[in-house]
Chains A and B, each alone.
Chain A
């Protein structure tokens, strides 16, 4: 099992993501720099971590989505390699058009940093198979630009296709239809604002995030 964490200037959850991946796989991930143009051969799973890539210049995730390594990530995603984008990683995947919609400034304008309840909407995906549909899980969020937006036709389409993975179970950031996590049409790319890598150890206050990594990485093993 070869995993990779993409590291941008301004990433700050890359080491937490690496700990989560190593905890589940027993093997440290490759840390891949944004200037690299290729992933390590045989990469089975790619994670885009949280943070403030390129200082959130222009728009959150906009510069990272045009960095050299993203061409390799897009190509791998097209081959079916699982890609998980958390927080800034979700913003990058949306900017790269691997996922529909955009992440805008939180409706309340405040940076929101707390553990929130999420409702699992799709328990059939690679990433969510360890959860039950309708289950409430608790995962921390920490973001300023997490307000998910897509036009109503797109929202209807992704809901109809079961591509809403998670919904906030309480108001958090003004997201359209309380969407917290979205899958691509093939189901191998997941973007989510909450941080599952911050809920993998009882000392974190909960382990609901660990189950996401166990599901996704266990299915690949």
Chain B
């Protein structure tokens, strides 16, 4: 089955890349964008019997750096 993992910067962690994207959007003339935060999207193809606990451990041990990032797991 397919599992989607969304890795995002924690609130309060400055995101220079998001800021640069924001400025670029403004440079293209898009008004009304208040903020941009850039994250990472990871698709996993896993066996059906992979447990939620295993998926959580994969995120905590490798896919996200929990010092600076949060993650959300979604079984597609």
Residues facing A in B21-55 (CB within 8 A) are none
In the assembled complex, the Cα of A58 lies from the Cα of B16 at a distance in Å of 17
Query: B67 contacts which chain A residues (CB < 8 A)?
Result: 94, 100-102, 149-150
Q: Are A149 and B68 in contact (CB under 8 A)?
A: yes
Nearest opposing residue in chain A for B19, CB measure:
A109
State which of A66, A100, A109, A149 has its C-beta within 8 Å of the C-beta of B13. A149
Q: How many residues of B contact A (CB 8 A)?
A: 11
Chain B residues near A104 (CB, 8 Å)?
A: 13-14, 16, 68
Q: Which of A103-140 contact B (CB under 8 A)?
A: 104-109
| A105 CA to B67 CA, complexed, in Å | 14
* Closest B residue, CB atoms, query A65: B62
Given A58-B62, A66-B62, check contact A174 B68 (CB 8 Å). no
B65 near A102 with CB under 8 A, answer yes
Q: How far is the CA of A201 from the CA of B65 in the complex (A)?
A: 37
Is B20 touching A109 in the complex (CB atoms < 8 A)? yes
Cβ of B17 < 8 Å from any Cβ of A?
yes
- The reply to whether A59 and B65 form a contact with Cβ atoms under 8 Å apart is yes
- Counting chain A CB atoms within 10 Å of each CB, the highest count among B16, B17, B20 belongs to B16
Lowest 8 A-B CB distances belong to which pairs? A102-B67, A102-B68, A107-B16, A109-B16, A105-B16, A102-B65, A109-B20, A149-B68
Interface flag for A184 (CB, 8 Å): no
A residues lining the B interface (CB < 8 Å): 58-59, 62, 66, 94-95, 100-102, 104-109, 147, 149-150, 174
**Contact at B20–A174, with CB atoms within 8 Å?**
no
User: Nearest chain-B residue to A100 (Cβ)?
Assistant: B67
Closest Cβ of chain B to A63, distance in Å, is: 9
Closest to B20 in A: A109
A-chain residues with CB within 8 Å of residue B16 when the two chains form the complex: 104-109, 147, 174
Known: A58-B62, A62-B62, A66-B62. A107 touches B14 (CB 8 A): yes
Bound-state Cα–Cα, A104 to B16, Å: 9
Instruction: Judge whether B62 and A174 touch: CB under 8 Å.
Output: no
User: Cα distance A179–B60 when bound, in Å?
Assistant: 26
Task: Please indicate the chain A residues that have their CB under 8 angstroms from the CB of B17 in the complex.
Answer: 105, 109
Q: How far, in Å, is B22 (CB) from chain A's closest CB? A: 12
> In whole angstroms, how far apart are the Cα atoms of A66 and B13 in the complex?
24
Which residues of A are found within 8 Å of B20, using beta-carbon distances? 109
Closest A residue to B61 by beta carbon equals A66
Would you call A174 and B65 a contact (CB within 8 A)?
no
- In Å, the complex CA distance between A105 and B65 comes to 14
* Chain B residue at minimum C-beta to C-beta distance from A94: B67
Task: Report how far A113 CA is from B55 CA in the complex, Å.
Answer: 39
